[in-house]
Amino acid sequence: MSLRESRDVLAAAPHLLGFTPQNSLVLLLVSGAALVATLRVDVPELAARHDLTGDEVSTVIARAQRYVEPVADVDRIFVIAYGAPAPGERMAYAELIEDLSVTLALDSVEVAEAWYVGAGRWRHYVCPKRDCCPVTGRPVAELATAEANVEFTVRGSAPANGLWDGSTHTDWPDRSRVRCIADEFARGQRSRLTIKTLLRRWNGLLETQSTEALDELRRDPEFTGSIVGSLRRLQARNFILALGGDALALEQVPLERGDLGYRPASDESVAIDHEPMVSRTLSFVTGTLHCQPNWPRLDRLWEVAFGLLPATEGEDRSALLVLMAWMEWARGRSSAAAALLASSGGRDIGDQLAEMVHTKVRDGVLANWTHDPGRAWRVGPASEAA
């Protein structure tokens, strides 16, 4: 897909982010002819004013730099500012855009074009063509017919109106039975499943299409209860992420008491056997492992997790939302991760993965693979910038 026209860039941005942004600075990073990353930075709401204070400008630019600097070989950036006021003679965030352009130019990165979107209208900050943009801008509604929007839509992309907070209103068949089984596992009234057994069950779900996996879960409350109950074992939940991303293979999971063929030399040897798996999982979930995440599998994990949410509640729902928040962060979508974290309650119950994701999002730190176009997650078709 080529993003050669303003309409295409503006239409593509919500698809690339997964939602329509508000009070945001969106940066589309270009290397050569390839769009390599789409980043979003919060900006303060303007209300009755047209620009930020000097301190606010410095804060936004510093955060944008933290996101841009790790991405290799960026030579141009397209910038879109989203705010509340409509375009006019005085353009909202104009000083911010000007200072950002100067700052990036010092790093040999050009702001190729910049637009403002507000009150249902859009306009260039500096229009490259005579009489192109009316003072009051053009209707955002006309972007629906842009080539980029049509292509993303045909491929199934549908940006949300705002960030999803994990809420769902879908029913789950025989939910009371599923809840009873999950609680029995949590209270120790059922035999504790080994890590290998749990991961084997999750792996089976990820080896098939998500619709088939969810059909199996809906048919079998006993199986679903064990899956939901496993989420309360937070270390096992983290192993599910590593398994989903192919950072951990099922064959690498050691046997333990309860597994067929288990023959430990001593209890100490069990901990030693698990150490490589724990270490590799930790490197993966912190985003420091140099690997190529298996995005199709992780996307299936997301779809299964999303479909499974109505069967969860309490601690297992919190653990599942934190798992999904991590996946959004791993995709490079920190805003979406923050929204899920806020509704998960994971930090309130001492979920270390929730605390880690919160810290990464707060500090503007992304997983190492997000800075590499060859390893980063992509939504929809690959894009090229003119």
The 3-state secondary structure of the chain, one letter per residue: CEECCHHHHHHHHHHHHCECCCCEEEEEEEECCEEEEEEEEECCCCCCCCCCCHHHHHHHHHHHHHHHCCCCCCCEEEEEEEECCCCCCCCCCHHHHHHHHHHHHCCCCEEEEEEEEECCEEEECCCCCCCCCCCCCEEHHHHHHCHHHHHHHHCCCCCECCCCCCCCCCCCCCHHHHHHHHHHHHHCCCCCCCHHHHHHHHHHHHCCCHHHHHHHHHHCHHHHHHHHHHCCCHHHHHHHHHHHCCCCCHHHCCCCCCCCCCCCCCHHHHHHHHHHHHHHHHHHHCCCCCCCCCHHHHHHHHHHHHHHHHHCCHHHHHHHHHHHHHHHHHHCCHHHHHHHHHHHCCHHHCCHHHHHHHHHHHHCCCCHHHHCCCCCCCCCCCCEEC
Over residues 20-67, the pLDDT tens digits come to 999 999 999 999 988 988 999 999 998 667 689 999 999 999 999 988
Dist. CA 323–CA 228, nearest whole Å: 13
Confidence band, pLDDT 50/70/90 cuts, at residue 267: low
DSSP β-bridge partners for residue 3:
385
pLDDT at 310 over 70: yes
Q: Are residues 194 and 152 in the same domain?
A: no
In a domain, 383, yes or no: no
The enclosing domain of 140 has a CATH number of 3.40.140.10
Q: Are residues 89 and 183 in the same domain?
A: no
Domain carrying residue 181: 175-371
In a domain, 226, yes or no: yes
Arithmetic mean of pLDDT, 339-343: 95
Q: Are residues 222 and 136 in the same domain?
A: no
In a domain, 386, yes or no: no
pLDDT at 158 over 90: no
Q: Are residues 138 and 186 in the same domain?
A: no
* Average pLDDT of the chain to the nearest whole number: 91
Query: Residue holding tokens 């120790």?
Result: 188
Q: Are residues 152 and 179 in the same domain?
A: no
Q: Are residues 97 and 193 in the same domain?
A: no
In a domain, 16, yes or no: yes
Over residues 175-231, the pLDDT tens digits come to 999 999 999 998 889 988 999 999 999 999 999 999 999 999 999 999 999 999 999
Q: Are residues 187 and 42 in the same domain?
A: no
In a domain, 232, yes or no: yes
The total number of structural domains that make up the chain = 2
In a domain, 306, yes or no: yes
Q: Are residues 219 and 155 in the same domain?
A: no
Dist. CA 37–CA 39, nearest whole Å: 6
Q: Are residues 189 and 137 in the same domain?
A: no
pLDDT at 316 over 90: yes
